[in-house]
Amino acid sequence: MTSPSGDGSGAQPLIIDTSKPHPARMYDYFLGGKDNYEVDREAAEQFIKAAPEVREGVRANRSFMHRAVRHVVEEGGIRQILDIGTGLPTEPNVHQIAHAVAPDTRIVYVDNDPIVSTHSMALMEDTDTSVILADLRDPRAILDHPEVRKAIDFDRPVAVLLVAVVHFLPDDVDPYGIVATLRDALPTGSYLVLSHATGDIHEDGRHDAASVYNRATASLNLRTHAQVLDFFGDFTLVDPGLVRVTHWRPEETPAPGAAPIGIYGGVARKNN
């Protein structure tokens, strides 16, 4: 991750660092995108060697996001979504999924990479979708950002999406405190959608794969099922709970012999 803008406005330009791999650009490469640099591609290929299932994993993660967004909009009645760590646009994106169910849904995309912000803004033509440049490590700046306050009414239920982003927060920045700040800002009836990489699924713990990110702008911090579960606090998980993303309300049963995907995903509601 790059540094927070500092004043919470998102107006200060951030320098695009092309000397180190960036998680959003590596993710784009895993998905087959073209918005990445040679340094990102080299790191991504190293990761693929250590974790050959990664391409299937990122696709499974996005499919989980699609299903989760449909759930909170269609079944949860959510009409406001704050997507933090959105990454480079990949169709269908959150606003397309949400608007297919409820066209009046307002979405705010948040990312700390100027490239992500620039690409996203170029694609957002409807007035119900906003893009801001801000950093998850400063959750208060996100919540207080004027564009967020303009688009999101925190007196009404909101869905916060933290999809494949919290694992880039090391323990020394207090990731649980960061997520708790976001949870505490939400009214009753709101949702938290979160997915997180884990080493639980593979015998080697995928430590070699995770170490590739030590040379990137953010480290990859794998966590256990119990540790990921703690991010939901006192929110109530909807069925089937916190499971591998391939097992969260799949539209079709995973194929026998498919590579196991080390990403947990869950959707939880604030009931009080």
Render pLDDT for 206-259 as a digit per residue (tens, 0 to 9). 999 999 999 888 999 999 999 999 999 999 999 999 999 999 999 887 777 788
138-173 pLDDT, tens digit per residue, is: 999 999 999 999 999 999 999 999 999 999 999 999
52-91 pLDDT, tens digit per residue, is: 999 999 999 999 999 999 999 999 999 999 999 987 666 7
- Model confidence at 12, pLDDT cuts 50, 70, 90, reads very low
13-52 pLDDT, tens digit per residue, is: 455 667 899 888 899 899 888 888 999 999 999 999 999 9
HSE toward the beta carbon, residue 114, CA cutoff 13 A: 12
Euclidean distance between the first and the last CA atom of the chain, given in angstroms as a whole number? 33
User: Which amino acid is it at 102?
Assistant: A
Q: What is the DSSP string of 45-59?
A: HHHHHH-TTHHHHHH
